[in-house]
């Protein structure tokens, strides 16, 4: 009979997500994962099967948390432009506040594994679609409220804003608030 598990699986996934986000999939060793998670490698693999399975769970967690944060900010009182600006600034501020500017885990994954790992790219595409859907809902609300141009295509605008955010997340690795905020304000003229 095996020893009972003395760790919370969700906590391990959160900690693994942080390790993958910081180092990437290929540069995160099993030893680093075990250390980050605070559990032995054997326990880690007995619970999650493989490094890849843990990575897939970490991508799902990152996607879910991102959409929850985004939706919470977008649903607060204010115009669509104000709420989208708040979300975009939140992402920039979060990136710039970190001692290691990691950017976006999904963008990092696309850059690392794009063209080589179809499963990872499906996870990235799904995460992007979740964010686009959140933006579409807010843009459509703005059109109903009269603070977004009636002729704006909600999907095309949402895709443009997501692309801008992905670029901001990369630029945040080397740029400052002033530059990034200026980009945000320029992008929001699309509304």
Taking only the tens place, the pLDDT of each residue in 26-46 is: 999 989 998 988 888 887 888
Per-residue pLDDT of the chain (191 residues; tens, 9 = 90+): 444 445 688 888 999 999 999 999 999 998 999 898 888 888 788 888 889 999 999 999 999 999 999 999 999 999 999 999 999 999 999 999 988 899 999 999 999 999 999 999 999 999 999 999 999 999 999 999 999 999 999 999 999 999 999 999 999 999 999 999 999 999 999 99
Instruction: Give the model's pLDDT for residue 38.
Output: 84
Say what percent of the chain tops pLDDT 90.
83
pLDDT value of residue 43: 79
What pLDDT, on a 0 to 100 scale, did the predictor assign at position 4? 40
Judge residue 155's burial from the number of C-beta atoms within 10 Å of its C-beta, 0-12 exposed, 13-18 middle, 19 or more buried: middle
Output the average pLDDT for the chain.
93
CA-based R_g, the chain, Å:
19
pLDDT of residue 40: 81
Q: What is the reported pLDDT for 6?
A: 53
């Amino acid at each position: 009979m095996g020893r009972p598990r003395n760790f919370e699986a969700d906590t391990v996934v959160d900690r693994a997500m942080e390790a993958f986000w910081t180092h990437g999939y290929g540069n995160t060793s099993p030893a680093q994962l075990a250390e980050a998670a605070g559990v032995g490698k054997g326990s880690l693999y007995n619970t999650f099967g493989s490094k890849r399975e843990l990575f897939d769970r970490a991508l799902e967690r990152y996607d879910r948390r991102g959409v929850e944060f985004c939706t919470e900010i977008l649903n607060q009182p204010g115009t669509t432009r104000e709420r989208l600006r708040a979300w975009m600034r939140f992402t920039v501020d979060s990136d710039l506040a970190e001692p290691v500017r990691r950017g976006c885990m999904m963008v990092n994954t696309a850059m690392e594994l794009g063209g080589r790992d179809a499963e990872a790219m499906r996870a990235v595409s799904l995460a992007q679609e979740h964010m686009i859907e959140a933006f579409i809902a807010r843009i459509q609300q703005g059109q109903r409220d009269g603070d977004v141009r009636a002729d704006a295509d909600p999907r095309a605008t949402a895709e443009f804003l997501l692309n801008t955010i992905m670029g901001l997340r990369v630029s945040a690795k080397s740029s400052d608030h002033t530059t990034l905020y200026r980009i945000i304000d320029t992008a929001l003229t699309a509304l």
